[in-house]
Structure 1
Amino acid sequence: MANGLRIIVWPDHDIPNVVMYNFVRAGGRNEYPGITGLSHFFEHMMFNGTTSRKPGEFDRAMEAVGGANNAYTTNDLTVYQGWFPRSALKTILELEADRLQNLAIDPDVVERERGVVYSERRLRVDNDNWGRLYEQVRATAFVAHPYQFPVIGWPSDIESWTQQDLESYFKTYYAPNNSTMVFSGAVSPEEIFLLAEQYFAPIPRQLPPPPVRTIEPEQAGERRLVIEKEAQTPLLHLAFHAGRAADPETQQMQLLLNILTDGNSSRLHRLLVEEEQIALSVAGVQIQGFDPGLVYIYLTLPPGADIDAVEARVLEELRRVAVEGVTRAELGKARNIVLADFWREIATINGKASALGDFDVFTGSYENLFSLPEDVKAITSQQIQAVAAKVFQQNNMTVGVLRSPTHTPGAGK
């Protein structure tokens, strides 16, 4: 659109419903000390009234026409989701345009939501062993890049955001030229574009947000941290610097993580949980975004576990992949799982909207979504071995441990 808003439409007339996703390029990476957590805070504020609607009216109006909504915030984005019948299309677009153009940042509502966010932080981080360790590992793994900041914000920042902080952040990051909207379902591109001109064209373009220029320097040696806190089961987290969402190596690593940690037949589960019984669970995730992220492997250990010994076994298996690679059967299975998940996702209008938006925002074009099956089929065992050798190096690793102050290896056996 002329104001910079990008709109993508994927028609699917199997059912008379529509999904709308609004990808706002505002996340933890756009924050700095003093305003950490603002992106997540606006995820709350966007449901708390405009100059013409009181708090709660957005949800009531949407539900009255059969719709539902949600939202989430990451280090890179804040994403707003709406699900509704086709008959409610005009109502939903009018509601969305109203909050984008006329959001009320009322001081009383701000203080109330500030308390809600702080309570959420206590629940998910301060009083949650996994969340507390994860936050500290990220803050240790990144020393320069804003990926070090927790999406929910540091406590002192949550307490001290100012009205000026809020108004400036909203004006900069909730501009149409900083958003991508995706529609999927019982609609046509022509009618969506026509309605968008009516409802979204009046929203003025703003100056582009300041770019994130900081590049995380190469890690020069392994980093470690230990949190001592009452815990029946110790936690062991290992984080390795890896690529961006748009990098070819990221899809290769995704297949490797599937082989290593996805399901009961994965390498690390069979070895550590079933055969040697030195872990209760093991999982892995690739944290990918606009900038280079992390490969994150996390384990829950039994009481009294020898944490150092478990870490050594994990690293031994990661080195094995880097030296020996993976088998043809393992690669075939991982491909099958990734492709089955892909086709299952885009079989629904919600999956279509989510996938289109992710690929458009992170790779530069939604068309890259449609090459994913062939890209996955083309990945070789040699590429997987190479990415393992590159990423799984000890000088590229941050290790986090959460254990009880009275933890004694072997005491629980």
Structure 2
Amino acid sequence: MRSTPRSWTVLASWSLSLVLIFLAAAPAQALDSSNVEEVTLSNGVRVLLWPDDTIPNLAVYTFWKVGSRNEAPGITGLAHFFEHMMFNGSEHFPPGEFDRTMEAAGGSNNAYTSANVTVYQDWVPASALEITLDLEADRIRALSVDPELVESERGVVMSERRRSVEDDNHSLMWEQLMSSAYMAHPYQWPVIGWRSDIENWRQQDVEDFHRTWYAVNNALFVICGAYDRDELIGLLEEKIGSIEAREVGRDVVTVEPEQRGERRVELRKEAQMGSVLVGWHVPETAHEDIRVLELADLILSSGESSRLYRRLVDQDQIALWAWGDTDNNFDPGLYQMLVQSREGVDGTTIEAALYEEIDRMKNEPVTDDELQKAKNMLVAGFYRDMATISGRANQLGSFEIFHGDWRKLFDVVGTYESIQAEDIQRVLSTWLTAQNRTVVTLIPTQDTEAGNAR
């Protein structure tokens, strides 16, 4: 699942002091790490619990440590495929019954797959706790991988790939970026998988992948909301703790070699306007430089007062918008910048202005106002997530998975506050260099020329 541009600009004009005054009125449990409890079930499965009886609801998140990075050529896309299959029937709940049963109990669900994890999300009334754990346990213990279901879902995934990647120019650009920026690491293939692999998965490939990665001990459970602790732990032990642990597949050991020169791709496809997508290699999510980069990205690309909007959209009038982001990653990833050109503007013009603005941030400290505004946006966005049980479950699990310790979640505001202008200069100068970048340019063509990349 791709990240979407941040929507934190709504609070951009707030001062940090006003944000913190607002938060002081929030329930103390929303900010207190002592409320979080870590439980280890008899089979070794770890569960994070965070009580909140403000409303009688629960958020139940299951983080599976499997994504497209755990695949190989020939079986790309299987992690995402199992995001679909996990809703398609198990021993006691036939196809379609997972959703029907949960909805009948007043709940809903969703899931997403990334290069690193697959996450299942259940939002239910507190009264639906037991049936929710029954549903989760049954698809862990006895998921159906019936060949007819596999073939049916293969067709669904093929349609999804056509719609979300092959018919979407920016998704195609992103696919070209990843496959060009990485020469060794498995981040190079798309989460949804290559078309030829999807078409040729064997039944044995599907079963082997499930057996290898969907061992219950490869999951982290996070539950936030209204519950009776003793009842919850008893049910967890009965439903989840009784599932036998087994050996999990070997983790990724491949390290991407240092990039020593700019790489370029031209994507020629039917389009009204061109676009430029640039990716720079950056450290893994747990690295301290990523927090600095998050601040720098907001100053560069978030909202109409950002540097790139003012330069590319308002001043030079060569672009419609610019967006930057970096995903959560176990291993070193990419900081990506996508610029949508105005009609008739070529990629060279976009790149020149983009690199000038980045170099200006390297050479001249950002202003105090810019830095404080970016901190306000990050802090406000963080606390908006923490205001809901769903946001807390997602944040808690993400910090445990990607930062190695859920407790670091409660240090993040202080980390952002400690960042100085010179830190931004250092991080941009270290990582956003010409030899460390890969550039994908979308060149609009007539239909007869569409579909070529070089």
TM-score (normalised: structure 2) = 0.88
Q: Residue 188 of structure 1: CA displacement?
A: 4.2
Q: Which runs of 5+ in 2 are unaligned?
A: 1-40, 448-454
Quick one: which amino acid aligns to residue 397 of structure 1?
R
Residue 91 of structure 1, CA deviation = 0.6
- Distance across 2 between alignment mates of 1:320 and 1:192: 54
Instruction: Summarize deviations over 1:32-60 as a string: whole Å, max 9, x none.
Output: 10110000000000000012321101111
Instruction: Please state how far the C-alpha of 1:303 moved relative to its aligned partner.
Output: 1.3
1:209 is displaced (CA, Å) by: 1.8
Counterpart of 2:47 in structure 1: which amino acid? I
| C-alpha deviation, 1:6, in angstroms | 1.1
Selected match of 1:274 from 305, 308, 314 = 314
> 1:405, CA displacement in angstroms?
2.7
Q: Do 2:67 and 2:113's aligned partners in 1 also have CA atoms closer than 8 Å?
A: yes
1:158 corresponds to which residue?
198
Aligned to 2:440: 400
Superposition deviation, residue 406 in structure 1: 5.8
Counterpart CA distance in 2 for 1:304 and 1:403 is: 10
In 2, are the aligned partners of 1:287 and 1:296 still within 8 Å (CA)?
Answer: no
Residue of structure 1 in register with 2:218 after alignment? 178
RMSD: 1.1
Confirm or deny: 8 A CA contact 2:274 2:444 kept in the other structure.
Answer: yes
Give me the whole-angstrom Cα distance separating, in 1, the residues matched to 2:403 and 2:173: 30
Map 1:210-229 → 2, pairs under 5 A: 210-229=250-269
Deviation readout 1:291-333 (Å, 9 max, x if unpaired): 0101000011111103201101101111111111311111100
Matched residue SS, 1:152:
coil
Alignment partner, residue 158 of structure 2: 118
**Residue matched to 1:134:** 174
Shift of residue 166, structure 1, vs aligned partner:
1.3
Instruction: Please name the residue that 1:410 is paired with.
Output: none
- Aligned pair partner of 2:135 in 86, 89, 95: 95
> 1:120 and 1:152 mapped to 2: Cα distance?
9
Instruction: Provide the secondary structure at the position in 2 that maps to 1:82.
Output: strand
| Residue identity in the other structure for 2:377 | I
Q: Report the AA paired with residue 208 of structure 2.
A: S
Structure-2 separation of matches of 1:381 and 1:117: 45
Amino acid at match of 2:401: V
The answer on 1:317 being equivalent to 2:357 is yes
Q: Is the 8 A contact 2:42 2:237 kept in 1?
A: no
1: CA distance, partners of 2:268 / 2:99: 42
- Does the 8 A contact of 2:330 with 2:402 survive in 1? yes
Match 1:291 to one of 331, 334, 337:
331
Confirm whether residue 43 of structure 1 aligns to residue 67 of structure 2.
no
**Residues 328 and 402, structure 2, Cα contact 8 Å, conserved in 1:** no
CA distance, structure 2, for counterparts of residue 274 and residue 114 of structure 1: 46
CA drift at 1:274: 1.2
- Aligned partners of 1:203, 1:11: CA distance in 2, in Å? 25
Larger displacement relative to structure 2 (354-363 or 191-200): 191-200
Contact kept in structure 1, 2:322 and 2:337, CA below 8 Å: yes
2:232 is matched with 192
Give 1:309-388 correspondences, 5 Å limit: 309-388=349-428
Give the residue type in structure 2 aligned to 1:200: I
Q: Tell me the distance in 2 between the aligned counterparts of 1:288 and 1:318.
A: 23
Q: Give deviations 1:125-168, integer Å, cap 9, x for gaps.
A: 11111111110111101111000010000011101111111111
Task: State the one-letter code of the partner of 1:253.
Answer: L
Residue identity in the other structure for 1:240: W
Identity %: 46
Kindly provide the CA deviation profile for residues 64-123 of structure 1, in whole angstroms up to 9, marking residues without a partner as x: 100100000000000000000001100100111000101000100100000000000000
TM-score, reference length from structure 1: 0.97
- 1:375-413 Cα deviation digits (max 9, x unpaired): 111111111110000111000000001112369xxxxxx
2:124 maps to: 84
Aligned counterpart in structure 1 of residue 285 of structure 2, from 231, 245, 260: 245
SS in 1 for 2:440: strand
Is the alpha carbon distance of 1:406 and 1:114 closer, same or farther for their aligned partners in structure 2, counting shifts above 3 Å? closer
CA contact under 8 A between 2:339 and 2:350: conserved in structure 1?
no
Cα distance in structure 2, aligned partners of 1:135 and 1:265: 30
Note if contact 1:243-1:288 (Cα within 8 Å) is conserved in structure 2. Answer: no
Q: Residue 169 in 1 paired to residue 209 in 2?
A: yes
Q: Tell me how many residue pairs correspond in the alignment.
A: 407
1:171/1:206 contact within 8 Å kept: no
Task: Report the Cα distance in structure 2 between the residues aligned to 1:8 and 1:242, rounded to whole angstroms.
Answer: 30
Q: Contact conserved, 1:255 with 1:334, CA < 8 A, in 2? A: yes
Aligned mates of 2:328, 2:434 — CA distance in 1: 20
Structure 1 residue matching 2:144: 3-state secondary structure: coil
d(CA) in 1 for partners of 2:80, 2:245: 22
Contact 1:141-1:239 at 8 Å conserved across structures = yes
Q: Of 243, 268, 284, which aligns to 1:203? A: 243
Q: Is the 8 A contact 1:279 1:300 kept in 2?
A: yes
Partner Cα separation in structure 1 for residue 140 and residue 359 of structure 2: 50
Within the candidate set 134, 148, 162, 1:108 is matched to 148
Q: Aligned letter for 2:363? A: V
CA distance in 2, matches of 1:39, 1:291: 17
Q: Secondary structure at the match of 1:404?
A: strand
- Map of 2:98 onto structure 1: 58
Q: Which runs of 5+ in 1 are unaligned?
A: 408-413
SS at match of 2:81: helix
Deviation sequence 1:176-207 (CA, Å, 0-9, x none): 21110100010244332211100011211111
| Contact 1:20–1:182, Cα closer than 8 Å, also in 2 | yes
How far apart in 1 are the matches of 2:422 and 2:328? 22
Could you tell me which residue of structure 2 aligns to residue 26 of structure 1?
A: 66
